[in-house]
Amino acid sequence: MTDFEDRIRKSLRPAASMPVPVAPLDPDDLAARAGRRPHRVFPARVWLAAAAAVAVVAGVGGVATIWPGRGQGVPAAPIAPTHSAITPSAVSPTPSVTASTPAVAGSATVQVLMFSGRRDPVATLPADVADELYAMLADQEAAGLLKPSDAPPADNLGFRGFLVTPKDRSQPALQILPTAVYLQRAGDLRLDDPNQNFYNRVYDAIAPQLDPDVRAALPSGKPAIPTVGVSVPPQVGATATWTLTRPESIDAHTVTFEVFATRLECASGKTGKLLAPVIAVGDKEVVIRIDAKPRHSTGDTCPSNNPVRVRITLPEPLGHRSLVDAACLVGEAVSTTACANGAARSKP
């Protein structure tokens, strides 16, 4: 006999010995009922059996609830589901919080402040140019060149500067005029920029994004972006600029001539190896690109690199066309002193 059966058996014993009250029978009452339909009289043992059955049911229910035995007991009423019993579909999903990804189109926007009654044009400043601007600003600040100032001029008509707003909000916004840079940091500050280093870099980077009428309204002194009637040879190496060794010798019959090519980047004073010149001939100009061979070096100093003599041979006589340095049409050299006098190296 198992423990469970033994507990059932013991629960029946008190029910079997339970006294059952029986009302006494009155003979007169029995005689009065003689004419009625006789009722069925259950013997005492039947009542005892019924009581035992009630006890069994009650006992089994109690045992099943209190003594789970080998399995889990059957509860008398539904219980709240445990955490593990909750299915994923029954739970409202919690939206995940993800970090926003910064846009990769550039690290700053440039608003061209134009008092013209129209909406100011907005352009994107590439990340490398923005990084260069703030590195230059840090150098100027370390040199003590940032000075307290009044607010930028706001009463003049027309161009009021480039408003550079970085995506990195820890950096200040810059209002860049041709010869000055304004910013706010515990008050208005001004950096004088007579060489237009800040202005030229921003202009060169965003000019292709601006409409011609906007570019025409910008102050003089901006780096020129000439329009040429020939496809500019693409850059394939490191930037280098070139100048004529003998400008006075160039004429309409010129086919062969020599130039001095100079690597633009810091290279400890050495231009090094150059790539072969690439020549594009148009109706009004001959565009020549001379790139330097890429280097894989760090820690170079920045004295002027030595010029390297390069021989150029045109596919036909120059005629009445200009000789143009491709590096001064677009790219990092445009705002440097090498291109300060424009891209044309000779004119007819």
Express each pLDDT in 33-63 by its tens digit: 555 554 454 555 545 555 555 444 444 444 3
Task: List the structure tokens of 174.
Answer: 């810059």
- 176: number of Cβ within 10 Å: 27
245 pLDDT above the threshold of 80: yes
With respect to residue 65, please indicate whether it lies within any of the assigned structural domains.
yes
- How many CA atoms within 13 Å lie on the side-chain side of 137? 25
Is the confidence at residue 314, as pLDDT, over 90? yes
The answer as to whether 102 is a domain residue is no
Domain count, the chain: 3
* pLDDT tier, 305 (very low <50, low <70, confident <90, very high otherwise): very high
- C-beta separation of 274 from 239 below 8 A: no
Distance CA 48, CA 193 (A): 115
Report the distance separating Cα 210 and Cα 67, nearest Å: 85
DSSP 227: -
pLDDT of residue 107: 78
Whether 331 maps to a domain, the answer reads: yes
Per residue in 287-303, pLDDT (tens digit) is 999 999 999 877 788 88
Domain residue limits at 67: 1-23+42-74
Q: How far apart are CA 347 and CA 338, in angstroms?
A: 17
Considering the domain architecture, whether residues 142 and 199 belong to the same structural domain is answered as yes
User: What are the tokens at 183?
Assistant: 């910013």
Mean of pLDDT over the chain: 76
pLDDT of residue 132: 86
Q: Are residues 295 and 195 in the same domain?
A: no
> What is the mean predicted confidence (pLDDT) over 183-188?
86
Q: How far apart are CA 110 and CA 202, in angstroms?
A: 8
- Percent of the chain beyond pLDDT 70? 66
Give the range with max mean pLDDT: 116-125, 159-168, 262-271, 273-282.
Answer: 273-282
263 is a domain residue: yes
For residues 162 and 248, membership in a common domain is answered with no
> In angstroms, rounded to a whole number, what is the distance separating the alpha carbons of residues 319 and 230?
16
Q: What is the pTM of this model?
A: 0.42
What is the distance of C-alpha 242 from the center of its chain? 39
Can you state the percent helix, strand and coil of the chain, rounding each to 5? 30, 20, 50
Residue 181 belongs to some domain of the structure: yes
The C-alpha atoms of residue 96 and residue 269 are separated, in whole angstroms, by: 55
Our CA angle for 281, 283, 287, nearest 5°, is 35
Laid out side by side, the sheet with 158-166 consists of 122-125, 108-115, 158-166, 174-177, 180-184, 188-192, 147-148
Query: Cα separation of 312 and 133, whole Å?
Result: 36
> Residue 319 is encoded by which pair of tokens?
């005629």
User: CA-based Rg of the chain, rounded to a whole angstrom?
Assistant: 49
Q: Do 129 and 182 belong to one domain?
A: yes
Residues 244 and 339 placed together within one structural domain of the fold = yes
Q: Which two tokens stand for residue 247?
A: 């400008």
Are residues 272 and 206 part of one domain?
Answer: no
Cα separation, 346 vs 348, whole angstroms: 7
| Residue 340 domain-assigned (yes or no) | yes
Q: 230 with 282: CB under 8 angstroms?
A: yes
190 and 134 housed in the same domain = yes
User: Which amino acid is it at 14?
Assistant: P
Let me know: does 15 contact 9? Beta carbons within 8 Å.
Answer: no
Q: Hey, is 46 helix, strand or coil?
A: helix
Any domain includes 294:
yes
Are 251 and 337 members of one domain?
A: yes
Angle at 308 between CA 304 and CA 311, to 5 degrees: 150
Specify whether 136 is located in the same domain as 211.
Answer: yes
Same domain for 270 and 325, yes or no, is: yes
Query: Is residue 61 included in any domain, yes or no?
Result: yes
